Amino acid sequence: MKKILFLSIAVALLFGAQQTTKAQLSDEEYNYVTMDLRGILNLTMTTNPQVDFTFKTIQEYQRGITKFNATQLEVDATLAWDLFVYASTNNWTQVESYSTNGNPVLPAEILEMQSSVTSTATVNMNSFTSLLGLGHSGVNNGMPTGATQFLAGASGTAAGESFAPGTAAGNPDTHKFRIDMRLLPGIPATFPNSIETIGVGGEDNFAQAGYYYLEVVYSLAEDL
């Protein structure tokens, strides 16, 4: 009887040990997920990129020509951004001259521009102001400085010196720009509103009749 008792205890112990050593069954499956968040900056010009000014009457010379909404820009961005503007050259390029009188070197600054979006930058285009030529814009290898004209944001990365991410469709007040342009030659064509004068150094101080063009650069950049 004692043997049976011992055997029973042994079996019970064995059974118990078997139960306690049994681990909780489990299995695992995995997914490895990669997320590539690209920085996206889209600048879209929704108007014709070429803006023509033709001065063919005395009144047009005297009163100038203003083109409202000459250029419309839309910004879609996933990053904080700045938008600045400058002329790609210091002067207008003369394609053809119609006269031998006057000065063919016209500074970029004779073109006045204003933006529909208010900029907090020191140098801005909140009202009609001369577009800065490359040499005066402070832009160096495409990078802006404090002297650069900002349509949005400013030089630096402090608070208020950039515009927030967003789409033009969702933020029309801050991400859609309507740019007005004005040329006021005057008679003689000295362009009195320009911050740079024609004919510095004794040359003719009025514009030579002719056909000119100027390239305006709008640059959208991450707030760096």
Name the residues that contact another protein, by CB under 8 A: 1, 4, 7-8, 11, 14-15, 18-19, 22, 24-40, 42, 76-80, 157, 164-167, 170, 222-224
* Pick 21 or 50: Cβ nearer another protein: 21
Smaller CB separation from another protein, 143 or 224:
224
What is the nearest approach in angstroms of another protein to the Cβ of residue 91?
37
- The least distance separating another protein from the CB of residue 223, rounded to whole angstroms, comes to 7
* Cβ 11 to another protein shortest distance, Å: 6
- Whether omega before 188 lies within 30 degrees of 0, making that bond cis, reads yes
CB of 83 to another protein, least distance (A): 16
Shortest Cβ distance from residue 79 to another protein (Å)? 6
* Residue (65 or 80) nearer to another protein, CB: 80
Closest CA to 193 of 127, 117, 139, 136: 127
**DSSP assignment of 114-137:** EESS---SSSB-SSSEEPPPHHHH
Q: Distances from the Cα of 143 to the Cαs of 64, 121, 224, in angstroms?
A: 33, 15, 10
Q: Spell out where 101-191 has E strands.
A: 112-115, 129-130, 149-152, 176-183
Nearest of 41, 40, 46 to residue 178 by alpha carbon = 46
Check: CB of residue 151 under 8 Å from CB of residue 217: no
Tokens 């001065």 correspond to what residue?
55
Q: Which is nearer to another protein, 22 or 56 (CB)?
A: 22
Whichever of 25 and 187 has its CB closer to another protein, that residue is 25
